[in-house]
Amino acid sequence: MNPVRFAFLTVVFAIASCAQPAPAPVAEVAPASTYKDAEYTVQAILYHQFGSEYRALCYQAYNLATERLLAKVKANPKSKLAIITDLDETVVDNSYYNAWLVSQGSGYNPETWKEWTAQRKATIVPGSKAFFDLADSLGVTIFYVSNRGVDEYDATLANLQALGLPQLDSTHFYLKTTTSGKEERRQAIYAQGYEVALYLGDNLNDFAKDFEKQNNERRHELTDSLKGKFGAEYIVLPNAIYGEWEVALYNYNHELSPAQKDSIRKSVLKAY
Ligand SMILES: [Mg+2]
């Protein structure tokens, strides 16, 4: 080969070799500062948004609620009947906020939550509108008892109005003022002479104060002791994305870092 041509090809080859992509670095455990807080919720959000099983569970809950309500109205024609229902992940779906948290690599934050609710983009939980419309047509009073803050009232009202839910005026809303515990608000409803036919929620705190601030072992015991009420008086909606069950894992410690919470989640798993 012509020596000049040989040298030229050698240089081309050398340049081509340098252009090869470097081997992928070995995956490393992210240090605490870069740990993506919401990453672990991806599977639950996917189930919520894409699992037809999730939808079926919602229909199952509302079908059961319908059956129970019809029976209670029939059995108590003269009673002042009411329903106490939670809003988030019971009547409306906010999984879009959780998906956004994943995209941002950040955890729940009251400020970003309020930015989400101000958008009024929550969608209806399958089966819920038909159920509340039926309750309304039967003359049953609906109380929306939610831990959305009173400062979220206008946006929440507009969101629910757009979804066509009934009985939307301020007398039917009990939003959070000072405490996330709902017992005081339930008592205020009982004090008006209502007989509560059904409670609906995705969090056991939506049903009874006994569950509040308890560890998961105690929550299990209480759930077992109340087993006859589920599907009868308490209608539970599925929510694997977040809830008191998760906060209880952290012993209600809100000071833990995302990495510490991740460590707890993995350490408590029951493996064989
Ligand atoms: Mg809820």
Q: What is the Å distance from ligand 1's center to 88 Cα? A: 4
Residues within 5 Å of ion ligand 1, judged at the Cβ atom: 86, 88-89, 202
Euclidean distance between CA atoms 52 and 126, whole angstroms: 11
- Which tokens sit at 217? 């072992």
Q: How far is ligand 1, taken at its centre, from the CA of residue 1, in Å?
A: 78
CATH number of the domain to which 260 belongs = 3.40.50.1000
User: What range defines the domain where residue 84 resides?
Assistant: 53-268
- State whether the Cα torsion 109-115-117-121 is positive or negative: negative
DSSP-H helix ranges across 77-179: 95-104, 110-118, 128-137, 153-163
**Per-residue pLDDT at 129 exceeds 60:** yes
Give residue 242 CA to ligand 1 midpoint distance, Å: 9
Query: Is 199 within a domain?
Result: yes
pTM recorded for the entire structure: 0.86
99, part of any domain: yes
| 15-27: average pLDDT | 48
Query: Is 11 a domain residue?
Result: no
* Token pair of 139 as six digits: 């003359």
What is the tally of structural domains in the chain? 1
CA–centroid distance, 3 to ligand 1, in Å, is 78
Closest Cα partner for 122 from 84, 148, 102, 151?
148
CA distances from 272 to 40, 205, 221, 269 (A): 22, 31, 23, 10
Q: How confident is the model at residue 37 (pLDDT cuts 50, 70, 90)?
A: confident
Contact 97, 155 (CB under 8 A): no
Condensed to tens digits (0 to 9), the pLDDT of residues 73-108 reads: 999 988 999 999 999 999 999 999 999 999 999 999
How many angstroms does the Cα of residue 201 sit away from the middle of ligand 1? 6
Identify whether 12 is part of a domain: no
